[in-house]
Structure 1
Amino acid sequence: MFVKNSSGVLKKVLMCRPTYLQAAPINEIAVQWSHTKLNRVIMENEYFALLKAYENNGVEVVSLDAGAKRPNAVFSRDFGCCLREGYVLGNFKEPIRFLEKEAYRRKMEEIGLPLIAEVKDGLFEGGDFSFLDDNTLAIGMIARTDTRGIEEIRNGISKYDYKIVPVPCDTSYLHLDLLFNLVDEKLALVYKKALPEDFLKILNQKEIETIDIPDEKVFQLGCNVEALGNKKVISLKSNKYVNTQLDKHGINVIEVDITEIVKAGGGPHCMTFPLSRE
């Protein structure tokens, strides 16, 4: 068994250093910084601070070597998703990310994690993926994942008896993890205004309590936290409002001071591909 949910005890993750990262204008956040050269020293320090936070909490970190021709590989979440039985390999929309697919495929072969499905004709990025419970998968249908990609996943994993819930949203929001993130089994960060009513009803039916993210925090990556299990999350230090709300709900927040990498459009959740979660 590899990953059975989105909020259990995190044991092992895959990451990639931001050695070649720049703010390519391929999302709403990065557009603001696309004419600014990001500080590599600061980014490296931020990466190792996140890595240290994982290690301090018992999470093993496996690394993909950085490459100049795949600068956005630091956002390792996006190459696919991991289930109990193995991983699903996605398909990128943006050319700047095309070379990541084979690099991550080779890395997964190296560490012995089985490929159970692959998106080839449609689009799917892991930032659009979340478990809702052990057998229900939410997949955002936003800017980088489409109907064909979801159908390829559905067909590829049909024998494992998962239910897939597509979550269509406005393309300006890029990925589902900008709008929704489980932090505990029955607690989630959400930006309700951008999520479909049907999806919010499903959360209610599953008795998932929600912490609503205010408008101004959405593109400041308010939802972009990484659950460690046992009521602990890693969150941006700048996430003051969200971190306070999490604390009020009994969640232990481990803050990481990441301000440079986020200019390229991703935070701790985007930088983390779970390989093992209980």
Structure 2
Amino acid sequence: MFVKDGTSKLNRVLTCPPTFLQMAAPINEISKKYADQPLNQSKLMAEYQQLLDAYAEAGVEVEELTTDPSMTNSVFARDFGGCVKEGYILGRFKESLRFFERQAYEKKMAELGIPKIVEVKNGFFEGGDFAFLNEKTIALGMIARTDQKGFSEVQAGLAKYGYHVYPVPADARYLHLDMCFNLVADHLAVAYRQGLPATFLQLLNRLEIEIIPVKEAAIFQHGCNLESLGEKRVLSLAQNKTVNRQLEAHGIDVIELDITETLKAGGGPHCMTFPLSRG
């Protein structure tokens, strides 16, 4: 078994250092705001090390992709696909500056012995849009980087394994589903409720998933971009004070990361983490 769901104990992850992130072009609403501000490379590397240290402290094994100058955004390891119990889904990037990552991550997964069970070949699908709701129910954002063709390919590919996949359209400014919705524990999520479709909110209600609400502005401050470690533990940003206190009120142990520089490129802790083993 590889990844059982989105909130069981996290055992092993794949990450990538931000070695060449300085060269990335602004390709989302957050990074556009900082387009004229060069990224501080030493801060980027220190923040990445902070993430690795948090995983080491939590007993999570880390595998790393070796990057190169052709892969400026490869620090956001989440986006190349998704992983379930049986193996992984290889997505397909929409933005050309991320094309080289696909082959590199595919090769890495083969080296790690994780089988590719679905491949998106015609549409677009990025892992930031992939979210477990429970062990057999998956939400797939159709926002800015995943389209109908990509959704259909993932849905059809996972159907044979008994998964039910639901589309979640939202404002393209939100980029990925993990920017406006994230399951952090069994039956508990953080989300910008007003930005999600009624059909999805009804699905969450049927699955008895409680929502800790965030405001729309929090999306662009990575207020939803959290990483569940399982066992009621969550990696969050220190700046997410309101969300963090709400999580703690729900019995969640919040491990705060002081990451600010990496966020300027448009992604947070969830974006930087591809789960390999959970359960």
* TM-score, normalised with respect to structure 2: 0.98
* Offset, 1:150: 1.0
**Does residue 142 of structure 1 match 2:146?**
no
Q: Distance in 2 between matches of 1:123 and 1:76?
A: 16
Match of 2:214 in 1: 213
Q: CA separation in 2, counterparts of 1:132 and 1:94?
A: 27
Q: Establish whether residue 274 from structure 1 lines up as the match of residue 238 from structure 2.
A: no
CA-based RMSD of the aligned residues comes to 0.8
Matched with 1:124 is 125
Correspondence 1:161-240 to 2 at 5 A: 161-240=162-241
CA distance in 2, matches of 1:265, 1:206: 30
1:66-145 aligned at under 5 Å gives the runs 66-145=67-146
- Aligned equivalent of 1:18: 18
- Residue 51 of structure 1 and its aligned partner are, at CA, apart by 0.5
Shift of 1:155: 2.1
19-28 or 179-188: bigger deviation: 19-28
Measure, in 2, the Cα distance between the counterparts of 1:126 and 1:223: 15
Give the residue type in structure 1 aligned to 2:14.
L
How many Å apart are 1:24 and its aligned residue?
A: 2.1
Other structure's SS at 1:210 match: strand
Deviation, structure 1 residue 38: 0.3
Which residue identity lines up with residue 220 of structure 2 in the other structure? F
Which whole-Å CA distance do the structure 2 matches of 1:25 and 1:46 have between them? Answer: 20
Q: Distance in 2 between matches of 1:218 and 1:159?
A: 34
Take 1:250 and 1:162, find their aligned partners in 2: how far apart are those partners?
29
Tell me which residue corresponds to 2:258: 257
C-alpha distance in 2 between matches for 1:34 and 1:178? 20
The CA distance in 2 between the partners of 1:258 and 1:24, in whole Å, is: 20
Q: Name the CA distance, whole Å, in 2 between partners of 1:68 and 1:52.
A: 25
Q: Which segments of 5 or more consecutive residues in structure 1 lack a partner in the other structure?
A: none
> In the aligned structure 2, how far is the partner of 1:159 from the partner of 1:192?
31
Structure 1 residue 35: deviation in Å?
1.7
Match of 2:63 in 1: 62
Partner of residue 28, structure 1: 29
Q: Secondary structure at the match of 1:267?
A: coil
- Same amino acid, percent of matched pairs: 56
More divergent stretch after superposition (135-144 vs 209-218): 209-218
Partner amino acid for 1:217?
A
* Aligned equivalent of 1:7: 7
Q: Distance in 1 between matches of 2:249 and 2:122?
A: 44
Once residues 258 and 152 of structure 1 are traced to their aligned partners in structure 2, the CA distance between those partners, rounded to angstroms, is 35
Structure 2 distance, partners of 1:54, 1:73, is 19
Number of equivalenced pairs: 278
Provide the secondary structure at the position in 1 that maps to 2:13. Answer: strand
TM-score, length-scaled by structure 1: 0.99
Structure 1 stretches of 4+ with a deviation exceeding 4 A read: none
User: What letter is aligned with 2:267?
Assistant: G
**Uncovered stretches (5+) of structure 2, i.e. residues with no partner:** none
